[in-house]
């Protein structure tokens, strides 16, 4: 194989080595240019080495480093929690739901406040349900901390009392978020009242984006308006977030004709229509929420949230609790 050293007649042209072998000539550029006269005539030579390009701007270097960090640490540069494995959703009756629970349910056996063990058990049910592939959004009441309707009856202005109740729902939402993320489930709290230092503002498209990313979305502060309950907020958010059903998690296993805790002869309903609930004044959700669900053909499932495995059973279509639908 013959090797020829190539020079350029112009300072800006490429220099290199031409290898003459069986496969034909091959040009291999090497070196970097210096203005050096070539003995015996014009042209410019070179010194052996790699061509040196202008260094990239510092901003480019920083961007590359940040990209490498994000590749190593998913989640916008943060170390991600354990990944929840999701199964296909083909075996689910409801693949996207809104779960509504009262604030009192988080108090456990306490008269008020938040019970940590109750939060842990509740969050474990949600983690198991998301492992089936379901997309879950939450609306949580604030009655374990402050109930606006009760305070209004005691003489407080209704609007002020309702706003205080909305803030109580944010406290509950943050407690549930902490419990879910401790168990490795990515969660976002989105408030109808802006408080950016604490949680995200509720924006429908952003909430849908979080659900698409497999995150649990907790909608706090009700609708952001007084005179509307968290039941109405749950119905509204269910429509906005394209939920297939509203799941009302309670301490009892369905809807009864009277309070089963006070009446031993209380009869449980397996299925009801919206009109049944309205005409019989059954305590499923408030009338505004029921009317909104009826107008938009949104089924409601009332079940005992604190029986282990019940949430997953509802999602897979097992006969659990009471179903409200039809009869519009």
Helix (H) or strand (E) holding 205: helix 204-212
Of the pLDDT bands very low, low, confident and very high (cuts 50, 70, 90), residue 147 is confident
Q: Which pLDDT score, from 0 to 100, does residue 77 have?
A: 47
Domain ranges of the chain: 2-47, 90-324
User: Does pLDDT of 324 surpass 80?
Assistant: yes
Q: H/E/C letters for each residue in 61-76? A: HHHHHHHHHHHHCCCC
As given in the structure block, the two tokens for residue 153 are 């009856």
User: Does pLDDT of 148 surpass 50?
Assistant: yes
User: What's the distance, Cα to Cα, between the start and end of the chain in Å?
Assistant: 90
What does the pLDDT average to over 91-111? 92
Q: Which pLDDT score, from 0 to 100, does residue 34 have?
A: 46
Q: Which pLDDT score, from 0 to 100, does residue 155 have?
A: 79
| Share above pLDDT 70 across residues of the chain, in percent, rounded to a whole number | 70
| Ramachandran angles phi, psi of 190, nearest 5° | -125, 120
Helix (H) or strand (E) holding 26: strand 24-29
As given in the structure block, the two tokens for residue 201 are 């503002």
User: What pTM, to 2 d.p., does this model score?
Assistant: 0.72
Sequence length of the chain is 328
CATH tag, 90-324: 3.40.1160.10
Q: Which of 18-27, 45-54, 232-241 has the lowest mean pLDDT?
A: 45-54
Q: What is the DSSP letter of 7?
A: -
Mean per-residue pLDDT of the chain = 81
Q: Which pLDDT score, from 0 to 100, does residue 23 have?
A: 55
Q: Which pLDDT score, from 0 to 100, does residue 51 have?
A: 47
Q: Which pLDDT score, from 0 to 100, does residue 80 have?
A: 47
Q: Which pLDDT score, from 0 to 100, does residue 22 have?
A: 53
User: Does pLDDT of 63 surpass 80?
Assistant: no
């Amino acid at each position: 194989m013959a090797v020829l050293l190539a020079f350029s007649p112009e300072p800006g042209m490429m220099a290199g080595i031409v290898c003459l072998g069986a496969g034909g000539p091959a040009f291999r550029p090497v070196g970097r240019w210096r203005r050096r006269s070539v003995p015996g005539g014009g042209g410019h030579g070179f010194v052996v080495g790699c061509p040196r390009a202008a260094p990239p701007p510092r901003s480019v270097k920083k961007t590359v480093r940040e990209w490498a960090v994000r590749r190593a640490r998913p989640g916008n540069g943060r170390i991600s929690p354990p990944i929840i494995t999701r199964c296909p959703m083909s075996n689910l009756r409801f693949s996207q739901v809104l779960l509504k629970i009262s604030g009192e349910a988080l108090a456990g056996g306490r008269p008020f406040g938040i019970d940590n063990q109750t939060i842990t058990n509740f969050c474990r049910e949600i983690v198991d349900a998301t492992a089936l592939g379901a997309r879950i959004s939450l609306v949580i009441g604030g009655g374990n901390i402050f109930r606006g309707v009760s305070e209004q009856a005691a003489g407080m202005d209704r609007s002020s009392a309702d706003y205080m109740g909305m803030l109580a729902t944010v406290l509950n939402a943050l407690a549930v978020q902490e419990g879910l993320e401790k168990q490795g489930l990515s969660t976002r709290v989105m408030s109808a009242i802006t408080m950016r230092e604490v949680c995200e503002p509720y924006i429908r498209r952003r909430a849908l984006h979080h659900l698409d990313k497999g995150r649990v979305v907790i909608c706090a502060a009700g609708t952001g308006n007084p005179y509307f309950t968290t039941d109405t907020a749950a119905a509204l958010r269910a429509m906005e977030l394209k939920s297939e059903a509203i799941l009302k998690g309670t301490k009892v296993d369905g809807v009864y004709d009277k309070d089963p805790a006070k009446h031993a002869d209380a009869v449980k309903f397996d299925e009801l229509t919206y009109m049944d609930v309205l005409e019989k004044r059954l305590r499923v959700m408030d009338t505004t929420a029921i009317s909104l669900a009826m107008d938009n053909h949104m089924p409601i499932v009332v079940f005992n949230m604190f029986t282990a495995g019940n949430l997953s059973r509802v999602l897979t279509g097992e006969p659990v609790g009471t179903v409200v639908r039809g009869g519009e």
